[in-house]
Amino acid sequence: MLDNDSIHTVTQMREKDAIWILKDDDGCVMLTTDEEDGVPVWSSQEQAVAWTSDDWSHCEPLSINVETWLKKWTVGLMQDQLVIMLNPSEFQEEGVVTSPEAFAEALTK
């Protein structure tokens, strides 16, 4: 379940019709922790760009609209057993970890 700050972030994504990820030559960037693998997503291009330092300097932000996310990404992430890492930052490296299903539900509220 998402906390109030996370719900606000997802609402921003829905209103802007933009979910920001990072990509490189191999595709979507993934984050790996001791417990899970996931796709980091941000609510703004600026937040995604802020993550592109050091090991991530070769990456660039990519905006995905909500409809495409719901139709393609949610299903793919579920099939691959990946989680969503919402707004990772220097202060919270993994961001808020949630399931693709919970993220999709919040996007459609």
What domains, with CATH codes, occur in the chain? 4-107 (3.40.1350.90)
Give me the pLDDT at residue 91, please.
85
Tokens of 102: 């919970």
Tokens of 94: 């993994």
Residue type, 84: I
Neighbours of 56 (CB within 10 A): 16
Average pLDDT over residues 72-81: 98
Give residue-wise pLDDT tens across range 27-55.
999 999 888 999 999 999 999 999 998 88
Give me the pLDDT at residue 103, please.
98
Cβ atoms of 66 and 32 closer than 8 Å: no
Residue type, 19: I
User: Distance between CA atoms of 63 and 105, rounded to whole angstroms?
Assistant: 19
